[in-house]
Chain A
Amino acid sequence: MTAKILIIAEHAGGRLNQSTARCLACASQISPGAGADVLVAGSQCGAVAAEAAALAGVAEVLVIDRAENSAPVAAVLAPQIAALATAYDYVLGPSTTFGKDLMPRVAALLRVGQVSDLMSVEGPRRFTRPVYAGNAIQSVEVPEGTRVIATVRTASFRPVAAGAAAPIRGVQVGAALPTHTRFIELRSGGGGERPDLQTARLVISGGRGVGSEANFRILYQLAGKMGAAVGASRAAVDAGFVPNDMQVGQTGKIIAPELYMAFGISGAIQHLTGIKDAGLIVAVNKDPEAPIFQIADIGLVGDLFQVIPELEKRIG
């Protein structure tokens, strides 16, 4: 009997988030060749369903289209997902703030534990996940007969390709939806027109060493020239140089770009946790003893205010 897998799609503004394609890659490792169903819960989410249907490895796209789902409120979504989940052996969501908020609520409604931040598939029921800020890797097994609920560490899986055409089916669930939690608004952060931090090939990050909000402009300029996204350390966010959604690390975003360039970042373990899967790490810091040099592939001891303009000139 093949395992039945349900993936909870993440979407916003009528677009599917790339985390869904990464969850599909994880599903294909759990049950190669079987295909997974994708649930799109939203309101007027036809375009999102179509995007999901195009992804490789999708058996069917299920759509719950209702006004209550217009914003992703976990307390509202969870009972709908729990109702559908009884027909599945696995329910996977992304380890993004969307999935982290939602999936444990689903797991608790189903009275099963959750595997958080699933980073590798060692067998259909055996997985690894990072603990202690990535200082240890835990191996966990979900016993036979227990439904697997997991959030997938998106940086650990490459997104599946698009180009397929799975069927799309509207579904209705009988779950009673609470009204005790209400979405008010979303204030989007500092990304602007730049590439998205979580999907960008190239990322340029600044830390406390950048010194001010105004100084971050030189990073944005360099990023603009390179087509890179911009990230930051917690210290830079706390100091108010940049908004919170730019934070990289244990409690910010976990990213896996091909190139990560850190300017004025010391390399605290909580920050490094967020960039371990980067292809190439470049560090520029004026302190030769900065811990980030212990893990950087290329290190340059220097003042970022001299290095960045020079870099810009050379690549311009």
Chain B
Amino acid sequence: MAVDVGGLSPYDWGPTIRAACFGCGKSMKKIMVCLKRVVDYNVRVRVKADGTGVVTDGVKMSINPFDEIALEEALRIRERGGAAEVVVVTIGPADCQQQLRTGLAMGADRAILVEHGTELEPLAVAGLLLKLVEKEHPDLVIVGKQAIDDDCNQTGQMLAALWDRPQATFASKLEVDGDRIRVTREVDAGLEVIEADLPAVVTTDLRLNEPRYVKLPDIMKAKKKPLEILAAGSLGAALEPSLRTTGYAPPPERQKGAMVADVDALVGALRDKGFLG
């Protein structure tokens, strides 16, 4: 639908041309998708006895669920003819190649691993991503809204800030219209719609799409796709942390309470506690 949004854009060509161009199908050259390797969401995570971290030995690792959604969205845009290439990138240890291969098997064209042995803060990750963006010139970067390990919910916003480009966080719908995107965002009050000029950063929410399953032949094909490895230190980004993690503790457990036999007992218990007036 062609909607004029009030001539705010510095790239404004005037309402007439703009309206004509809405949905004109101009295709993007490249979408970059960030994949983080995290402890699989089905794993019941436990804190190590010495409080230095959580148990990861022998634990299943996967692509962060929000990042799978990010990749799925990029693939759908490409399959619709909206983009020529989808590049997946990861920052982390050599083991992350596994998740990149999964991304390639899902359908990405090419992968980049920025190798770094230790966990980096979102600001450092965003700094490295900026270096990749300056090298690769993507029209759109799609990242997850949060990594389910650190639960930071920062990286996409930080990349957008460093890059001085728009951000559309918590996306549940993404429409590409020529040089602009229109994004529906899941916010506390409901659904917010914003429009942004490309290039831009989008972060995904769960309801954006349902990622496809990887098929066996695609896993074989993925082995032949290009996977470039760069050393994090070689990119010239600041990697020093600004926070210090001093330890991890298990959360306070809620105790299992009492079972009641019927609604009468439930109402009685609620009255005793002062609810129900």
Contact = CB atoms under 8 A, between A and B. Distances in A.
A136 B45 contact: yes
A261 to B, nearest CB: 9
Contacts of A253: 188
B172 A136 contact: no
B260 A12 contact: no
B158 A139 contact: no
- Size category of the B interface is 35 or more
Contact of A12 (B122, B186, B189): B189
B149 interface: yes
B244 A184 contact: no
B263 interface: yes
A164 interface: no
B123 A281 contact: no
A109 B162 CA distance: 7
Interface in A112-166: 112-117, 126, 128-143, 146
A149 to B, nearest CB: 9
A189 B192 contact: no
A171 interface: no
Contacts, number: 270
Interface stretch (A29-37, A48-56, A93-101, A212-220): A93-101
B105 interface: no
A75 B183 CA distance: 15
Contacts of A104: 122, 153-155, 157-158, 161
Interface stretch (A38-46, A57-65, A238-246): A238-246
A152 to B, nearest CB: 14
Scoring A131, A134, A143 by chain B CB atoms within 10 A of each residue's CB, the highest score goes to A131
Contacts of B194: 73, 181-184
Given A100-B153, A101-B157, A186 B190 contact: yes
Given A132-B148, A135-B44, A140 B257 contact: no
Interface stretch (B3-11, B78-86, B108-116): B3-11
Contacts of B57: none
Given A104-B153, A108-B162, A187-B193, A140 B244 contact: yes
Given A238-B207, A300-B263, A182 B5 contact: yes
Given A73-B194, A113-B121, A315-B267, A108 B161 contact: yes
Contacts of A280: 273, 275
Contacts of B45: 132-133, 135-136
B54 A282 contact: no
B167 A243 contact: no
Interface string A179-196: 111111111110000000
Interface stretch (A1-9, A20-28, A83-91, A306-314): A306-314
B21 interface: no
A237 B8 contact: no
Given A105-B158, A245-B188, A131 B151 contact: yes
Contacts of B276: 226, 315
B196 to A, nearest CB: 5
B50 interface: no
Interface string B198-221: 001000011100000000000000
A131 B188 contact: no
B256 A294 contact: yes
A107 interface: yes
Contacts of A131: 149-151, 248
Contact of B167 (A101, A187, A259): A101
A137 B248 contact: yes
A115 B244 CA distance: 10
Taking chain A's interface residues, is the majority helix, strand, or loop, or is none over half, making it mixed?
mixed
B189 A245 contact: yes
Contact of A75 (B39, B166, B185): B166
Contacts of A287: none
B169 interface: yes
Interface string B21-33: 0000000000000
A251 interface: yes
B190 A189 contact: yes
A115 to B, nearest CB: 7
Ranked nearest first, the 3 interchain pairs of A and B with the lowest CB-CB distance are A189-B190, A297-B257, A108-B161
29 contacts: A75-B167, A78-B161, A96-B188, A97-B187, A101-B187, A105-B161, A107-B123, A109-B161, A113-B243, A116-B154, A132-B54, A135-B46, A139-B246, A139-B247, A141-B244, A181-B168, A182-B8, A184-B3, A186-B193, A187-B192, A226-B276, A253-B188, A280-B275, A294-B256, A298-B257, A299-B258, A299-B260, A300-B265, A301-B259
Given A186-B187, A299-B259, 15 more contacts: A96-B188, A101-B187, A102-B157, A107-B154, A112-B123, A116-B153, A131-B150, A132-B148, A132-B149, A140-B243, A141-B244, A141-B245, A180-B165, A180-B166, A182-B194
Interface of B: 3, 5-6, 8-10, 39, 41, 44-47, 54, 121-123, 126, 145-146, 148-155, 157-162, 164-170, 172, 182, 185-197, 200, 205-207, 238, 241-251, 254, 256-267, 269-270, 273, 275-276
